[in-house]
Structure 1
Amino acid sequence: MHNYILKDENAIYYECGYSCDNVIFIQLGKEAFFITDARYSIEAKQHVKNAQVIESKTLIKTAKELLKKSKVKKMVFDGNDFSYDSYQALVSHSSVKFINKPHFSHLKRVIKTTQEIDYLKKASQLGQKGFNALAKYLRKNGFDENEKFLHFKATEKMSQQGVYDLSFDPIVAINENAAKPHALPTSKRLNKDDLILVDAGVKFKRYCSDRTCTAHVDFEKLNFKREQTFKNKKHQKIYDIVLKAQLNAIEKARVGMKAKDIDALTRNVIAKAGYEKYFVHSTGHGVGLDIHEHPYINSKSDVIIEENMVFTIEPGIYLPNEFGVRIEDTIVMQNGKAVIL
């Protein structure tokens, strides 16, 4: 693919080592152009690699002039990148044929380089540090604090007081709120023997980590380790099923399998225990510069899993109005097997 145009920040960062929220990137054979406005051009000139920085007040107009001058016939773009209006502006009165290839940048990035895996590993280590700091805070000061405040503390601890960007807005959910996979924080308060679910991640050099821990609330021993002992028998039962499902997939995932085979490794354990209808999402998703990337680990995907792919394994069981359990790790396929980052 020699000629393509990008607007997505992370896709552009992948191409040239810098990005911003108002840019058009064009690759024409061996030449590349980074078109942005005066707010970003100084930084762009310092950081952009392998592309010429062009400062412009009207990005699409400049892009069209560039394409006209280059006499290029065809351009690949990702339909997810452009709003309807910007796409219309781009194609009107243009002799270039624009070819829509959805997610072509994600597909290009699906096999991670050694350096990318190092960054993702570092992000995961920082994430683990954040979880440990949050657990310590909860043991000392978490009692009777509400989810909204605990969400704020999760943000503070995960980012190491603002040193790192977060991969996404953390999820902190107690008891019945944990039954919503993407719960928003409420004024529900944390008490002894509650169940708490925390889903959070941190970025290192723009690469994301992603982990979910479900824990028993005990103000002496609260931790986010995988071995959890709940006072509530039903909490324990569901937790053990989800952990078994997750470990089954981590232990048995192999290069050469289809994504749907890995999805089946979690889903079958949960189905066998009688909770299939309460596992409402897919087993996982790729992680990289974006928090959700290819490959998607779901029951329909025939994508073949390859060496150096990175994705999450995150089964869950969600019992409405009661509680939910999700256990998530990000893994990399190395030497044919899944290795937890």
Structure 2
Amino acid sequence: MKTRLAKLRRLMAQREITYLMVTKPENRLYLSGFTGTAGILLIGPDTADFFTDFRYIEQVKQQSPHFRAVKVDQGSPFEAVAEVLRQYKSDKLFFEDEHLTVKQYHRLKEHLGQINPVPAGDLAEELRMVKDQQEIGIIRRAMEIGDRAFAHILNYIKPGVAERELACELEFFMRRQGASGAAFATIVASGPRSALPHGVAGDRRLQPGDFITMDFGAVYQGYHSDMTRTVVLGEPDEKQQEIYNIVLAAQLAGLAAVRPGVKAREVDEAARQVIERRGYGEYFGHGTGHGVGLAIHENPRLAAKDETVLQAGMVVTVEPGIYLPGWGGVRIEDSVLVTDEGCEVLTSSPKHELLKL
């Protein structure tokens, strides 16, 4: 944590940020190691304060030794932050404007009085884009749990089974493997519902000939995994095989484009061109991928307008798809680590052939 604080302070100094208030839970965990659910960080050039209530004060002392624990007895924690800032004789407070609500901002401003609140963007997430070795090790474990869950669920895919039953079994299995929970609402979309990119598992029961798209992940020690596989129940028809092959080719093209120095949008272009050339461009309406870590969706975004230059240590997904309303759809997703030479695929579940169950 000391290294992360040092990196943040260097970034703050470059941008002439004196005192930064951190309220986003993922950033709080990243900078302090605190796993609880309530607290505000105030980080200065040579100070680090953690404001929390009675429930967590001892936990802060144990998990965040590089911070001074400040107990907030009653009232708003913003009031306590303002009081400490006055002791530091600061006339500005920089804050994470992408996280505070309008109501919270006005409450903060009220307590600050003459201290000027200044939006700072999300500095911590900029640092979080590049993972350190400890983070990569934890993410690998999260991805392994997802791969084992996929191998496990294949035994449950049969006619008459409800999507919701598959989702429950996936989530329960991942917990038994050490996950603290699912990374997001598990997507199991079958038959015509597989045309819904975010078709969260429902009551529909599987039928012979269905495409079944499963998008799921595990949370392990705070970090997320993310993968998608599409399988078919029985023998695929010609169109199903065609669509699957196009998406697979697009996904492989996206993976081949991932390497240091490439812009995020260039990975999106590489995958999207494959689908567009086959005449299905209008049926691929989302970005090709996103960063993954302490949050399931982080920067960078592998999308048409993201100019972020990829760096070794970033973990991103590559997940093109084709979705045909009323018919069905296919998405194939892997999470990958950007390496010095290119990328390492962290999810190893089979995809090169359309699995027939």
TM-score, normalised with respect to structure 2: 0.87
Taking the aligned partners of 1:177 and 1:103, their CA distance within structure 2 comes to 36
SS of equivalent residue, structure 2 residue 294: coil
Taking the aligned partners of 2:27 and 2:179, their CA distance within structure 1 comes to 24
Taking the aligned partners of 1:113 and 1:172, their CA distance within structure 2 comes to 32
Q: 2:142 aligns with which of 123, 131, 136?
A: 123
Q: 2:92 aligns with which of 74, 77, 80?
A: 74
**Is 1:150 paired with 2:166?**
yes
Structure-2 residue corresponding to 1:199? 215
**Is 1:134 paired with 2:153?**
yes
**Is 1:35 paired with 2:51?**
yes
Alignment of 1:210-289 (within 5 A): 210-218=226-234, 230-289=235-294
Structure-2 residue corresponding to 1:94? 113
Taking the aligned partners of 1:45 and 1:134, their CA distance within structure 2 comes to 42
Residue identity opposite 2:205 in structure 1:
R
Residue 163 of structure 1 deviates from its aligned partner by 4.7
Taking the aligned partners of 1:26 and 1:236, their CA distance within structure 2 comes to 55
Q: Is the 8 A contact 1:73 1:97 kept in 2?
A: yes
Residue 305 of structure 1 deviates from its aligned partner by 1.2
Q: Deviation per CA, 1:267-326: give whole Å up to 9, x if none.
A: 000000100000010000001101111111101111111111111000000001110111
Residue identity opposite 1:170 in structure 2:
T
CA 6–277 in structure 1, closer or farther in 2 if over 3 Å, else same: same
Structure 2: 5+ residue runs without aligned partners? 1-11, 13-17, 347-357
The root-mean-square deviation of aligned C-alpha atoms, in Å, is 1.6
Residue 162 of structure 1 deviates from its aligned partner by 7.2
Q: Is the 8 A contact 2:167 2:187 kept in 1?
A: yes
**Is 1:113 paired with 2:132?**
yes
Q: Is the 8 A contact 2:171 2:181 kept in 1?
A: no
Residue identity opposite 2:330 in structure 1:
V
Taking the aligned partners of 1:282 and 1:306, their CA distance within structure 2 comes to 19
**Corresponding pairs, count:** 327
Which deviates more, 118-127 or 93-102? 93-102
Q: Is the 8 A contact 2:142 2:179 kept in 1?
A: no
Taking the aligned partners of 2:199 and 2:101, their CA distance within structure 1 comes to 29
Taking the aligned partners of 1:313 and 1:55, their CA distance within structure 2 comes to 43
**Is 1:9 paired with 2:25?**
yes
SS of equivalent residue, structure 2 residue 317: strand
Residue identity opposite 1:115 in structure 2:
Q
Taking the aligned partners of 1:284 and 1:159, their CA distance within structure 2 comes to 26
Structure-2 residue corresponding to 1:181? 197
Taking the aligned partners of 1:202 and 1:45, their CA distance within structure 2 comes to 28
Structure 1: 5+ residue runs without aligned partners? 219-229
CA 232–157 in structure 1, closer or farther in 2 if over 3 Å, else same: farther
Q: Deviation per CA, 1:98-124: give whole Å up to 9, x if none.
A: 221223221121111111111111111
Q: 2:80 aligns with which of 62, 87, 92?
A: 62
Taking the aligned partners of 1:162 and 1:255, their CA distance within structure 2 comes to 32
CA 49–234 in structure 1, closer or farther in 2 if over 3 Å, else same: farther
Q: Deviation per CA, 1:51-93: give whole Å up to 9, x if none.
A: 1112213311111111111112332211122121221121225
- Quote the sequence identity (%): 31
Q: 2:335 aligns with which of 297, 307, 330?
A: 330
Residue 161 of structure 1 deviates from its aligned partner by 7.0
TM-score, normalised with respect to structure 1: 0.91
Residue 136 of structure 1 deviates from its aligned partner by 2.4
SS of equivalent residue, structure 1 residue 306: coil
Q: Is the 8 A contact 1:131 1:157 kept in 2?
A: no
Residue identity opposite 1:38 in structure 2:
F
